[in-house]
């Protein structure tokens, strides 16, 4: 198992990509500490992992609470003696053009899609520097390498977080700390609610996916979780500062 005895901390692990990535890392031997704003959902993720022979614990966490986020990451490292992997996954999707999105909407997007990742990475880097090792994975989006129509808050913050991941990578490579941005396209999860509303419902979203994505389909969470394991492990030991786009060629 390529992540045997690694310690991983995951945000937004209650469903979708966060849950699938946590499960995949656990099945490769990692001990996973799972967080989500929804205590019930993340407890279900931990139960699923433990039932399948993995090692997981879960608790509720709002990543907008800087102090709580820092404390949770620090306590994980103290309890297990190290922190090998941070998957900072939490995010928000607010749709709308410049004339439709309020300044408060933009602030909410920035807080979740950039600031929370900043706080999590800053806390993890301090621990990983002492170890002289670590992998930080920040979930961005293929919206960070292209420009979605009428999604100004989402696209702006996703471009910003990719830039942040690249900056972390170049600043901390000397400490053997890697930082990469995970950039999924349309994966069939409830996170697509913003795009679905913008496009006029589920049928319209499905029509867009089938007609505009060269592969003609949604991706699956399992297709993304394989990439999470890759970025977390030594299989990607010479990869840092990369925006790993997995979107069926939508952004090409």
Dihedral pair phi/psi, residue 156, rounded to 5°: -60, -50
Q: How many CB atoms lie within 10 A of CB 102?
A: 11
> Residue 129: helix, strand or coil by DSSP?
helix
Residue 239 Cα to chain centre, angstroms:
17
Distance CA(7)–CA(84), nearest Å, equals: 5
For Cα atoms 214, 215, 219, give the angle at the middle one, nearest 5 degrees: 125
Q: Name the pairing type of β-strands 85-88 and 177-184.
A: unpaired
| Active-site residue (options: 154, 172, 175, 208) | 154
- The answer to whether 154 is a known catalytic residue is yes
129 Cβ neighbours under 8 A, 6+ residues apart: 172, 175, 177
Distance CA(32)–CA(201), nearest Å, equals: 36
Q: Which residues pair with 183 in a beta bridge?
A: 245
Residues marked as catalytic: 154
């Amino acid at each position: 198992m390529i992540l045997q005895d690694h310690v991983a901390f995951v945000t937004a692990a209650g469903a979708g990509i966060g849950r699938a990535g946590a499960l995949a890392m656990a099945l490769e031997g990692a001990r996973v500490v799972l967080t989500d704003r929804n205590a019930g959902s993340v407890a279900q993720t931990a139960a699923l992992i433990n039932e399948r022979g993995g090692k997981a614990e879960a608790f509720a966490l709002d990543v907008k609470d800087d102090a709580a986020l820092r404390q949770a990451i620090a306590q994980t490292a103290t309890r297990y003696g190290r922190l090998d992997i941070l998957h900072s996954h939490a995010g928000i999707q607010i749709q709308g053009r410049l004339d439709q999105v309020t300044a408060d909407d933009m602030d909410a997007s920035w807080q979740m899609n950039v600031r929370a990742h900043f706080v999590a990475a800053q806390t993890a880097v301090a621990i990983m520097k002492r170890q002289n090792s670590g992998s930080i994975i920040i979930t961005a989006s293929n919206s960070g390498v292209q420009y979605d129509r009428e999604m100004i808050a989402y696209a702006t913050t996703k471009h910003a977080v990719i830039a942040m991941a690249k900056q972390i990578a170049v600043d901390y490579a000397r400490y053997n700390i890697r930082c990469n941005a995970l950039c999924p396209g349309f994966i069939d999860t409830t996170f697509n609610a913003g795009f679905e509303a913008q496009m006029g419902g589920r049928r319209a979203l499905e029509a867009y996916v089938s007609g505009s994505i060269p592969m003609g389909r949604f991706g699956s969470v399992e297709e993304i979780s394989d990439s999470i394991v890759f970025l977390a492990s030594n299989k990607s030991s010479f990869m840092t500062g990369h925006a790993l786009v997995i979107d069926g060629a939508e952004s090409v």
